[in-house]
Structure 1
Amino acid sequence: MANQGAKKRRDENKKHMSKLFRIIAGCNAIYVMVRMLFFHSTFNWLHWIGLIVTSACYFLPYQQLAKMAKPAYSDDGELIDGGYDMSTGGVCSYLHDVIYITSFVQLTSIYSGKFWYTYLVIPAFGLYQIFGIGKEFLSGSERESEEDDKTRKKRQKMEKRASRPKFVKGHR
């Protein structure tokens, strides 16, 4: 029963990575088959570049997620850690978003090349995040003074409560 949580996470991560691989392989297969077989007369060097770009945009996040999901074993082969929890937010969530946006762009670019503009969402969101962090950093002095007031009031309340006489029941 030891490490049951780690074993469960290892199995969940394995299923999740398998699902992501099927999505990536399926999108690439559909793109290649439809673009090269049905629209072969309009297939040119820009489409090859698009295939290379989308493949890179799949490969890099997938490799990073695979490293995060990799379980850790001890020297004797016992499972120590089941890997990173893929359902959490943060960087893991952003990497998933890149994969999903890439699959959307790849499949919809079969219909129209204008869907490549959807890729601008990724750097736009990055700038939005950086701007938000920068805004918090610049306005940090105001927040600190507000927090200091709150902390000061809380401290005064605790001191007042601590200075009250305490009545203790005696034993007879």
Structure 2
Amino acid sequence: MAPQKGKVGTKGQKQILEENNQTLNFYRIMILGSNGLFLALNGFVFSEFAYFEVAAFLLVAVVHISCYQFLSYMARPKYSSTGQLADGGLDLNVESGVAEHVKDLVIVTSGCQTLGLISRYFWILWAFVPLRAFHMLWKNVLGPYFFAPAPEEPDVDEKKQRKMARKMRYAAQ
């Protein structure tokens, strides 16, 4: 396949708004589906909620609500005073953006919650979330900060060096 020639096309504000609405709808269905399945199976089929299930559900609910609210805040459109669309919000489907990591968190959380119905050991998968967050923090912030090369001293030409030496001699007297 030949590489595409010319400029890469950009999305219009209406297209971003429509795609953001579709993305939010997809993740809303995923969140409601995994929570509904968890509550239905634990409430009706297993007919008891252990302390672990209640605590896990509350934690999952906080994560789901926080992530969804964050995504909807990012995708909030802005309208002009005449009612025309001024800004479709940030594009939630852009690669390597913050929204991508938040969507991944929703997917992992929903997967752990659903697989947790089979066995409690699947909740261990949720431990990879903070490990991944620390890896990204190390790779993007801490690692470059700690291992950055020391700044080089600027080269001073010979004339300026002699002038500085004279000033130092006068200051010493």
TM-score > 0.5, shorter chain as reference: yes
CA distance in 2 between counterparts of 1:87 and 1:8 reads: 11
Q: Deviations over 1:99-136 (max 9, x none)?
A: 00110110011111111111111110111122223221
Q: Distance in 1 between matches of 2:109 and 2:134?
A: 19
Amino acid paired to 1:65: L
1:102 aligns with 2:109: yes
**Pick from 64, 75, 83: which aligns with 2:70?**
64
Q: Aligned partner of 2:137: which letter?
A: I
Superimposed CA distance per residue, residues 11-31 of structure 1 (whole angstroms, 9 cap, x where no aligned partner): 111111111111111111111
Matched-pair contact (CA < 8 Å) for 2:74–2:90 = yes
What's the counterpart of residue 138 of structure 1?
A: 146
Match of 1:51 in 2: 57
Q: Which amino acid aligns with 1:139?
A: F
Distance 1:53 1:138 in 2: 34
What code does the residue aligned with 2:148 have? G
Matched residue, 2:128? 121
Q: Which has the higher helix share?
A: 1
Once the two structures are superposed, what CA deviation does each residue of 1:43-75 show, in whole Å capped at 9, x if it has no partner? 312211111111111000110000011111112
Query: SS of the residue aligned with 2:92?
Result: coil
Identity of aligned pairs, percent?
Answer: 24
Say if 2:35 is the partner of 1:28: yes
Q: TM-score, normalised by structure 1?
A: 0.76
Listed as ranges, the gaps of 5+ residues in structure 1 are 146-172
Selected match of 1:17 from 10, 24, 32: 24
In the alignment of these two chains, the number of paired residues is 141
What's the secondary structure of 2:12's corresponding residue? helix
Extract structure 1 runs of 4+ deviating beyond 6 A. none
Give the match for residue 170 of structure 2: none
TM-score of the superposed pair, with normalisation by structure 2? 0.75
CA RMSD of aligned residues (A): 1.8
Q: 1:86 aligned to 92, 105, 129, which one?
A: 92
Say which SS state the counterpart of residue 40 (structure 1) adopts: coil
What is the rounded CA distance, in whole Å, between the counterparts of 1:46 and 1:140 in structure 2?
45
Structure 2 regions of 5+ residues with no counterpart?
1-10, 153-173
The answer (yes or no) to whether the contact 2:20–2:93 under 8 Å persists in 1 is: no
Q: Which SS does the other structure have where 1:141 is aligned?
A: coil
Letter in 2 for 1:127: F
Indicate the residue corresponding to 1:168 in structure 2.
none
